[in-house]
Structure 1
Amino acid sequence: MKSSEIIDAFHFRHACKVFNAEKKISDNDFMTILETGRLSPSSFGFEPWKFLVVQNSELREKLKPVTWGAQGTLPTASHFVVILARKQKSMRYDSDYITHMMYDVHKIPEEQAEQRRSFYQTFQEKDFKLFESERAMFDWAGKQTYIALGNMMTAAAMLGIDSCPIEGFKADEVEKLMAEEFEVDTEEFGVAVMVAFGYRVNEQPEKTRQSMEDITQWYR
């Protein structure tokens, strides 16, 4: 892929607030978008995320009163994704989830896995001080979901598909809804961010950014 094509995709991408409700993303294209999320990097390779693809119109309606940043996208998006981040219960070094990731997913030999667990414990306790609060651990996991979010939106733009990242929601009320209507274990997961995908109906606004000189400092 040429450099110019990559930059063109980034110019194409914008926060699309309303989509063409009649135009749907093909199954193949959307699975490609999801796959870029699944293949995204994460700290220690522990994948602290889950993707809820909300296509059910009734569930979207229930999300709408507590998701003020998606008033135009929830009714019109071809696909709407709630990205969950894992909480301290499953991200701490001695959790069943971390054991599962090392043994069942990464297939690390026992001795090597326990060395890695010890290193991960030091990282959590001392390097990043993630046990200072439940929120510290959740925010650390949530930051990683944004890597997947960015990759999914970029992949969509390369396919000519629009997207809109959404942080405009009432976190406590959305989490309550996740437990009651989506059967999410909110002891283990919290909502990090949402993202809508589809095809635009309005003209793209002019893209504004600071200059490269303003945001970059080189040390040669």
Structure 2
Amino acid sequence: MIGTESKQQEIIKAYQFRHACKAFDTNKKISDEDFHFILETGRLSPSSFGFEPWKFVVIQNEALREKLKPVSGGAKGQLPTASHFVVILARREEGLRPDSVHVNKMWKDIHHMPEEVVQDWYDFYKSFVETELEDNDRLIFEWSIRQTYIALGNMMTAAAQIGIDSCPIEGFDKKQVTAILQNEGIINGDDFGVACMVAFGYRQKDPKRPQTRQHLDEIVEWR
């Protein structure tokens, strides 16, 4: 059994290993078992109210990657070279309304809440949407997108722990990427919108300089 200190060092080494990989070794592919593990850490990630407002679209089709390339400037190096390329979708506002099919499915079918508990949560969540999110479609969708970044971070960290590189990507035209995914039948109606992208694979070469960050004392304040 690995001791606590050894486990801590193993995790820190994974964080030190990880960097935003701009291009991957096309001769190395992630095994099905390893990528399933990465996806599973996304699936098991926490989300506000436990709504899991995400969908992970694994883009392996080369023709589709080529269509995305002209409108995804931040992924020009990753789209042609990544072993696995994922577009993370966030559930849109209609699917996160208190009386939506998805919210009720999560309460009743996934979390198996009794009817009286569902009613209590419905009242509480309805108040949250009306006050914290101002019952505003854009704010609800942005809140949904923030949840997907929890899964994104967990997947990248999990990948690093087994020696797999990654790169989170926001540099793309959301409207055009959305249009492409709609034309491909990946996004249907107003159920989901594009949150971010992430590429996985094995680095071509090590980064030119070691990872740099601010000192812990500069970003942590104790009171």
Pick closer, same or farther for the CA change 1:168–1:186 going to 2, 3 Å. farther
Matching residue within 162, 169, 183 for 2:172: 169
Note if contact 1:11-1:207 (Cα within 8 Å) is conserved in structure 2.
yes
- Give the corresponding residue for 2:193: 190
Aligned to 2:14, the other structure's residue is in SS state helix
Please tell me whether residue 63 in structure 1 is matched to residue 94 in structure 2.
Answer: no
Matching residue within 15, 23, 40 for 1:10: 15
Q: 1:182, CA displacement in angstroms? A: 3.7
Q: 1:66, CA displacement in angstroms? A: 0.8
Q: TM-score, normalised by structure 2?
A: 0.95
| In 2: Cα distance, 1:13 partner to 1:186 partner | 36
| In 2: Cα distance, 1:183 partner to 1:49 partner | 13
Counterpart mapping for 1:1-220 below 5 A: 2-126=7-131, 128-132=132-136, 134-204=137-207, 205-219=209-223
| Residue identity in the other structure for 2:54 | W
Aligned to 1:200, the other structure's residue is in SS state coil
Q: TM-score, normalised by structure 1?
A: 0.96
| In 2: Cα distance, 1:167 partner to 1:186 partner | 23
Q: 1:130, CA displacement in angstroms? A: 4.2
Q: 1:26, CA displacement in angstroms? A: 0.6
| In 2: Cα distance, 1:130 partner to 1:186 partner | 24
| In 1: Cα distance, 2:152 partner to 2:201 partner | 15
Structure 1 residues without counterparts, runs of 5 or longer: none
| In 1: Cα distance, 2:186 partner to 2:154 partner | 27
Q: 1:186, CA displacement in angstroms? A: 4.5
Stretches of 4+ moved more than 2 A in 1?
none
Note if contact 1:175-1:186 (Cα within 8 Å) is conserved in structure 2.
no
- The alignment covers a number of residue pairs equal to 217
Aligned to 2:88, the other structure's residue is in SS state strand
Aligned to 2:168, the other structure's residue is in SS state strand
Structure 2 residues without counterparts, runs of 5 or longer: none
| In 2: Cα distance, 1:111 partner to 1:179 partner | 39
